[in-house]
Amino acid sequence: MDWKIVLDDQRKIATRPFHLGYYWQGKYRLDNPVGNEHAAIRRAKSVAYMLDHLQPNIHPQQMFLGGNEIFQAQSLPQGISQEDYDQAIKAIHSEGGFRNFTTASSHTAYDAVRLFNEGLGGLAKRTRAQAQKPGAPPISIAMDIVVQAVIRTFRRFADEIKSTHPEAAGRIAFLADGKPRDMAEAIQLLWLVFCLIYADGDRYANALARLDQYLEPYYNPEEDTLDMLCHLWTKVDGFRSVTNICIGGVKQDGTDAVNPLSFLMLKATHLVHSPYTNLSARIGPSTPDEFLLACIELIATGIGFPAIFNDNNNIKMLEKLGIPIEDARDYALFGCVEPLVPGKQVAWSDGRFSMPSAFRRAVLTLENIDTYEQLFDLFVQNMRDDMAAYAERYNNALKSQPVDTFPDPFLSAFVSDCVDRQLDINDGGAIYPRFHGVGMMGLATITDGLAAIKKLVFEEGKIDKAHLVKAIENNFENDEPLRQLLINGAPKYGNDDEYCDDIARKVVKICGEICLEQPVHGGGFLLSAMASNINNIPAGKELGATPDGRFAGMPLSDAASPSAGRDRNGPTAFVNSIVKPDYTQQSCTVVNMRFQPETLKTQDGKSTLLAIFHRFIDAGGQEMQFNVTNQQDMIDAMSHPEKAKDLIVRVSGFSEYFVRLSTDVQKDILRRTSH
């Protein structure tokens, strides 16, 4: 079996536009009109029907069965017409469709440890026992229907591939009931269940979570584990969607969790070189330098992995939200950068919030404001008002998909403790509640603007209030000297200047508070997240000029990073600024830092980055990620994309091929300061 051949053939496939998971569920609904059956049971039967019809498509050189090819297709299979397909999809929508990202369908992980410990057979015994209890709720019956269908699918898949892939077939046949006994069986069970859950509903950016921990009991140094991991990474690449894989950190008892698999997963990421194996490294005081240096070696390749996450911060954050210390220590990263307790929590969701919009409205009333403190208070009140409106929209979305009519029996069956509690994952079945992150866009845009007004208007009197308001309203037309004064006449975030950094500290604190003030329908938390994905670009297009000197329509600052090009005092000053806010009340952050490739080719450069890691750990940063890219390479790629198809860059909480990004995103990356 050769993963390189699989990877090469896989990357030749442009797209798989037909979702057969949706088709088979829709066909079930067409063939079985809505009656008096409970929605959970109807949903489970449609899932079972889908599982019974999926095909075990597998490449001749593939070691592990699973991938989007089992539920997505380049063309419709024989016997299914375009009209058939369209009608089936319409049938799903006619019943309201599936839960979506906002209402918690994706950015999740099932309880892999529990599945390994009991196997599908053990899980089936639990679901059957609950389903057979007198007065069992429909969700218990539904979960049992789904689990029995998963076992049937394992057996059928094994039978259908035994002539071409006898070893894989043997593993799958055993795993239909048994617990994994070695690395290959553990990977196969983990991956195939992951893919089958993916096939059901509107799911994407699900996580493999703490993979080095889950697979460690099966590690045998005499086996070619790296080859197995490369086979798995190759199949992750085929999804062409963010799949977070978490390594390192600490165990539930607080001891260091780095193990041989942590290093092998770094190597697999380098070898397969996919932007979709979203590798996240948890680091903390006990993390050995050997592991940190191995992370730096991978970062130096330019792939953008791993992003680093500070256990000091993230464990405290989860504890503040009521997660017991043992499970807080077991957190993993989901989607791009979101920390959750894997297999025990409602799926993550998030949205975007424009802080600069609230700020700009306050600034436009500047002529009626006497002090900087009054301006700041008005900005905060505007944010509170906007957050109340945001929370109302979010809660209305949750109310629009109640559990009774939008159940999720498949995910519920594999997340603790839904089976034993006899509850849906979105109805109290999961041990821990939902986290919804509010992406607080534009921290540096706000911070730099507040610093400029505080210094140049209220302290030094260099800028007249009316003049500033008019300039902002007119997008600095014929007022470039004023704009340059705003840019160069006041401190900027990212330069280790306490004048500016203290403002950022206060803004971050207030963001955490105003989010937590809002109630969440059905329980859980609305959490501030200093992250924007790439939405700082469209949000900037919607906003007029701002007092940091930004023109109307230009991108807002990127997540928790300094404004592009404004951090000018080197990497140490950059880090000293971004660690000053207290991020233990933030669900997640994104801080982008960029290096020239030549910098990390030297021992001095690597030592500098290692020192940054230690400073980041000790001072309380939450997340950092690194682009190691040559400016001219990216400029050339924009002009000749056909010559740069393999160029990967870190975008926000994810990596992507540079030439697949929009021009606006490419330009936003180019604007970042390079060290």
- d(Cα 563, Cα 357) in Å, to the nearest integer? 16
- Closest of 406, 438, 449, 400 to residue 425, by C-alpha: 406
Domain match, 163 and 285 both = no
Q: Where are the alpha helices (DSSP H) in 71-182?
A: 82-94, 112-131, 138-161, 166-175
Kindly provide the b/e burial profile for residues 100-131, where b requires at least 16 CB atoms within 10 angstroms of the residue's own CB: bbbbbbbbbbbbbbbbbeebbeebbebbeebb
Q: Based on the domain organization, do 152 and 141 belong to the same domain?
A: yes
232 lies in the same domain as 172: no
pTM: 0.96
Percent over 90 (pLDDT), the chain: 93
Q: 554, 344, 534, 355: which is closest to 450 by C-alpha?
A: 355
Q: What is the pLDDT of residue 674?
A: 82
Residue 14 lies in a domain: yes
- Gap between the Cα atoms of 244 and 106, Å rounded: 12
Q: Which domain holds residue 504?
A: 351-554
Residue 350 φ then ψ, to 5°: -160, 175
Q: Do residues 197 and 274 both lie within one domain?
A: no
565-595, pLDDT tens digit by residue? 899 999 999 999 999 999 999 999 999 999 9
pLDDT 10s digits, 366-400:
999 999 999 999 999 999 999 999 999 999 999 99
**Within a domain: 575:** no
> Which tokens is 471 given?
């300039």
Residue pair 499/455 in contact by the 8 Å Cβ criterion:
yes
Can you tell me which residue has the tokens 């809660």? Answer: 395
Handedness of CA 595, 599, 603, 607 (dihedral sign): negative
Q: In what order do the strands lie in the sheet with 243-248?
A: 243-248, 277-283, 307-310, 623-628, 592-595
> Is the domain of 544 the same as that of 415?
yes
pLDDT of the residue at 393:
98
Is the domain of 303 the same as that of 258? yes
Last residue of a domain, one of 169, 204, 239: 204
Based on the fold, state whether residues 427 and 480 are members of the same structural domain.
yes
**Is 571 inside a domain boundary?**
no
Work out the angle at residue 236's Cα, subtended by the Cα atoms of residues 287 and 326, and round it to the nearest 5 degrees: 35
**Alpha-carbon distances of 8 from 156, 273, 418, 545, 637, rounded to whole Å:** 28, 12, 40, 47, 22
> Would the pLDDT of 650 be above 90?
no
Question: Which residue in the block uniquely carries the two structure tokens 């380049």?
Answer: 74
Position 202 scores a pLDDT of 85
In terms of domains, do 409 and 538 share one? yes
Q: If pLDDT is split at 50, 70 and 90, which confidence band does 654 have?
A: confident
Report the domain count for the chain: 3
pLDDT, position 459: 98
Q: Which among 134, 169, 204 is the end of a domain?
A: 204
How far apart are alpha carbons 402 and 285 in whole angstroms?
A: 43
In a domain, 4, yes or no: yes
Percent of the chain with pLDDT over 70: 100
Looking at the fold, whether 191 and 234 belong to one and the same domain comes out as no
* Same-domain check for residues 20 and 135: yes
Sign, Cα dihedral of 637, 638, 641, 646: positive
Q: Is 503 inside a domain boundary? A: yes
Query: Quick check: is 579 in a domain?
Result: no
In a domain, 302, yes or no: yes
What local confidence, expressed as pLDDT, does residue 672 receive? 86
Mean pLDDT (whole number) for 207-232: 98
| Per-residue model confidence as pLDDT tens digits over 614-644 | 999 999 999 999 999 888 999 999 999 998 8
Residue 222 falls inside a structural domain: yes
Region of residue 58 (left: phi > 0; alpha: psi -120 to 50; beta: else): beta
pLDDT of 651 above 90:
no
pLDDT of residue 60: 98
The last residue of a domain, from among 188, 204, 220: 204
Same domain assignment for residues 445 and 496: yes
In this structure, are 506 and 531 located in the same domain? yes
Q: Three-state secondary structure along 8-57?
A: HHHHCCCCCCEEHHHHHHHHHHHHCCCCCCCHHHHHHHHHHHHHHHCCCC
Of 556, 558, 567, 533, which is closest to residue 449 (Cα–Cα)? 556
CB atoms within 10 A of CB 367: 11
Q: d(Cα 290, Cα 263) in Å, to the nearest integer?
A: 10
